[in-house]
Every structure is written in C-alpha cells, then in structure tokens.
Amino acid sequence: MKKHNVGIIGYGWAATAHIEAINSTRQAQVTAIYSSRPLDSADLSARHGGSIKAYQDVDAMLADPDIHVVDITSYPSQHRNQAVAAANAKKHIILEKPMANSLQEVREIAAAASANGVKGCVCFECRFSGQFQSTKALIDEGVLGELHYGEVDYYHGIGPWYGQFRWNIGKKDGGSALLTAGCHALDALLMVMGGEVDTVTSFSTRSKSEIFAPYEYDTSSVTLVKFKNGSVGKTAAIVDCLQPYYFHTHLVGSQGSLLDNKFHSSKLKTNKAAWSQLSMKMLDSGDVSDHPYATQFQAFFDALDEGRDMPLTSFTESLRSFEVIFASDRSAEQGGRPVSISEMR
C-alpha cells in the first residue's frame, strides 16, 4: 500500500481521469468514492484497481481515519460545503475548478484549510502542462525579454455533445464563461505574466446559435487585465464557438514574441521574418483524459510529504486567480466598468 489514501467526492467524468492520475503517483491511491448514486465497492475496485469502498454518505467517508486526502469533483455549487467539511475533518484537499461559484465561498474554503492545517490543490492543471511549463521556462530564461503584453484565450464549444452541458447551462453550476472553463486561460495568463493585477475590464455576450440557447448566462467574454507593473493582458473565454478546441497564447516582450508553439527571440538571434518552432505537448483538447492531472497530483503529494504548500496551484495561489476572475465577472455584469482587485478585498 502507498502512503496516502484518497477519497473521491462525486463520481463523474472528471473523477475517472483523477482516479487514474492519483493511482499513477508514487505515494497515493484511491480507496473510497462517495456518490449520491448507490455504487458497488467490488465493481469500483475491479474497474479502477486496488480496493475501493463505495460511500453514499459523505460524512461517513470524511469520518474514516484511513482517508487522508479528499478529491472533490462534484458540481461546482457543492464545492464550498464539501471542501469546508473535508478541511474540518482534517483531510488534505484536491479541488476541481471552479473552487466555488462566489469569491466569498472560495475564501471560506481557503480559510477552513488554513485553520485546520490542511493543504490544497486546485485543478488549474494547465499550469503543469508541457506547453505552459516550457513557455514559463522560456520566459524565465529571458528568451522573450520582459513581457509587456500577453494574450491567453480559451475557445471550446461546450454544447449538447459535451457531458456536463446538462448542468453547465445553469447559472448555479456553470456560473459564467470564465468560471466554467475560461478560468484556465485567465489563470495561465496570470502565471506567465507574473506580477500583481491592478484592474480588469470585461465585456460579455453570447452566440445567436440555437445550440447554445439553453445557457442562462453569457457564454463569451473578453477581459482586459492591467498589471501593477504596467504590462497589460487579455483573455477571451469562449464556450459557445463552433470550431476545434483552441488554447491560444501570444506573448510579446522586449526581446521577442511567442505564439503558441512558435517564437522569435532577438536574444537568440533567430530570423525575425519567420517563426522558430518549439516542440512541446500542446493543450489541444477538452478531454479530461488528456489533461496533465498526473504531473499536478505528483507535485501535490510531493509537497504534502515535505509539509509545504504545493507549487503553482495551492489554495493561496489559486485564490489570487479567483479574485481576478470574480472581478472580471463583476466588470462584465456592470457593462465593462473597470474593477480594481483592491475593491474585491
């Protein structure tokens, strides 16, 4: 048996990818699953390997002293109560995005974890993708010089062909174009640009296609970000497009530019008239089985073993991203009024 036993809350699509990723880490295995549906322990164990106990009572699972970590992959409107209960039960927490659907709830989760001395991992797994690890390394090496402009955009049509459409269309669980999925792009923008955000200005709209008519909220938004160091950025969050999945990145610095997997660097004396190519695993799919959860969860368990917060996606770091996300949604709701982050604190 490995060191950390993990109990899953919510057995849906994301959970299946999480279980495989957790079991692939050096230190952890899934030993329990809570679902509102009756599930069979023998069946779960046969499907995922190891010995998995099915729970239909979340409090009973949280009371089990043999569970050390809880992984929350339920509907977003359930995240706050389940995460706070898990923290109070002294379990470390893996939490799917969005952390919750209000900033108040996100803060309550972070506060409960801190008060109980447990660690958190938010599924902003794009930060651990080959694409963004390489992009960040390039920036840190000074290949692009100092960045003064960045765009990271999320284009992924979430229509009836996508499993979570049934609940994603509702304001209660879907929230906004940013909360439901575009948050990955805004979070990635914050990672690569570094620096603190001063103000955001956001506008939202929606497709005229009947396909996306069931949505209770605007499914396209564009957010302009002004950083305290003077640099600026942009994130489009488009979940009502009809096109292939596209996670678009364009960064501009004092020594060159990066466009997705292409770059030019005057520091490296490459030819400015043609892009140079980078070989890296791109974020090019909305399928959870392609997401870099395994790398992220390995980093989480390594950090747990060393008694420190995980890099890049701890509750504290992700809370900062959610402040910007909720400020952006406030701006869009108010017709594009610039909203400063200090106003959210």
- Per CB under 6 A, residues contacting ligand NAD are 10-15, 35-37, 73-76, 96-97, 123, 125, 163-164, 288, 291
Token pair, residue 344, equals 């959210």
Which residue lies nearer to ligand NAD by CB, 68 or 127? Answer: 127
Which residue lies nearer to ligand NAD by CB, 124 or 263? Answer: 124
Token pair, residue 184, equals 């990955």
Question: Cβ of residue 117: shortest distance to ligand NAD, in angstroms?
Answer: 25
- CA dist 149 and 253 (Å) reads 7
Question: Cβ of residue 164: shortest distance to ligand NAD, in angstroms?
Answer: 4
Question: Cβ of residue 188: shortest distance to ligand NAD, in angstroms?
Answer: 12
Question: Cβ of residue 124: shortest distance to ligand NAD, in angstroms?
Answer: 7
Question: Cβ of residue 328: shortest distance to ligand NAD, in angstroms?
Answer: 17
CA atoms within 13 A on the CB side of 55: 20
Q: Residues 87, 88, 89, 94: what is their CA dihedral angle, to the nearest 10 degrees?
A: -10
- CA dist 235 and 201 (Å) reads 11
Which residue lies nearer to ligand NAD by CB, 36 or 104? Answer: 36
Residue 283: strand pairing partners: none
Question: Cβ of residue 255: shortest distance to ligand NAD, in angstroms?
Answer: 32
In whole angstroms, what separates CA 124 from the centre of its chain?
A: 2
Question: Cβ of residue 163: shortest distance to ligand NAD, in angstroms?
Answer: 5
Position closest to ligand NAD via CB: 12
Which residue lies nearer to ligand NAD by CB, 105 or 138? Answer: 105
Which residue lies nearer to ligand NAD by CB, 34 or 263? Answer: 34
Question: Cβ of residue 28: shortest distance to ligand NAD, in angstroms?
Answer: 18
Which residue lies nearer to ligand NAD by CB, 33 or 112? Answer: 33
Q: CB–CB of 125/292 below 8 Å?
A: yes
Q: Residues 35, 64, 51, 15: what is their CA dihedral angle, to the nearest 10 degrees?
A: 40
* Largest Cα–Cα separation, the chain: 63
- CA dist 330 and 49 (Å) reads 45
Taking alpha carbons only, the member of 252, 248, 138, 139 closest to residue 185 is: 248
Q: CB–CB of 233/150 below 8 Å?
A: yes
Question: Cβ of residue 201: shortest distance to ligand NAD, in angstroms?
Answer: 25
